[in-house]
Structure 1
Amino acid sequence: MSQFIKTLGLGAAVWMSSLSAVYAAPTQITQIFQQLSQSPTVRADFEQQKKLPSLNKTFVSNGSLLFSKSYGVAWQIKRPVQADLIVTPTKLIQKTQRTFSQIQVDQSPYSSVATLFLQLMSGNEQALAKNFNVVSANYSPAGWSMSLTPKSSLFKKLFVRVDAQGQQFVNQMVITEKANNLTTIRFSHQTSQPTTLTAAEHAIFQLAK
């Protein structure tokens, strides 16, 4: 569980004054964010694979994801353990059957990547640019991709780059960490309907109140 939380926090942010310097393809990156921002609610399944070359091991976890533009992202982990990770613009919440913890986003060393998916799905260009440089971006009706590198010296010590790709939704994120550790998160069965949250889904985000 702690490894999953760390990875989402590492690897589940940006800007205005330096827009021209940050973006290699400002028109294409804008098109990507405009497309992603059209879905106020997204539900999906996910699988995360974390490869550790030094140990010759791959750790796998999976579950379901709920994105709400009004509230945040809830990662509901089903395997290898059951737990919830809730990410809002201001808080990170971790909940299991026996434990509950929360921390302010600005107090977490992993806040940039923990909130990355939230910023992508909500189409929040400004938030993303605070912590990341967009070094490449490609958009077409068939799909899009972008590569991000961390800005701060702290985040540069944790990971090298983040690559994301998708179509209507984010389909995959790959986080390249130091020591060649690689985390891949794949999303499937995405849907934007229904747009309103159920009572149970709404209750999940109330944990962050």
Structure 2
Amino acid sequence: MAKKLKTYQTSLGFYDQAIAAPSMKAALAAWGASSNLFHQGVARETDDPDVVAATMAKPGVVLRRPVGSDGPFTESAELPTELGEGEAKPKRKSKSKAESKPTSKKRPARTARNASREIDDAAARKAAAAFEKEERRREAARAKEEAARAKERARRDKAVAAAEAALDKATREHEAKAGAIEAERAALEARAEAEQERWDKQRHKLDQALRRARE
């Protein structure tokens, strides 16, 4: 049986992000987080009915809105229009203060359990199935990317192996030629030494003959 989905929210970079997922671990995986944002206090489960409705309509899909805004969560969100001006967050803070004061005209904040109660069992099962479908799509995309990386690694390894083989072959050919040249050089040096020795002996005899002829 598919797990019941909950809505989780965080802020990463320029965006607030929300997702309907069966667990915090699944939400972190969908956000691509490398650390536990929930333990760090930058992610939480939300019971905001608008956020819950938006994420339950697209289970498993990461929805975004400009950070610090109160706009709706969508798949394609524009960048914040007032970066660095320090206006959006203070406004949001003052609004939250006003909302925190209990008045007879305002409804009390609904808990995650109350928000979830509004979704009937059939809708919950449908949302969970949609989440699993989105998870399978993400897994297939990751598998495709990994296959592409593996193919590229294999191509690169093959090219490296071919280059190394060519280098090894050229090195062996060079060493063989250099060895042959060295052998020829050694043979020439031996012949030169033998010739020099023969000539020294012959010249010595001829010098002696020349001196005797002059006497």
Same fold (TM over 0.5): no
TM-score of the aligned structures, taking structure 1 as reference length = 0.20
Larger Rg: 2
Q: Pick the structure with more strand per residue.
A: 1
TM-score of the aligned structures, taking structure 2 as reference length = 0.20
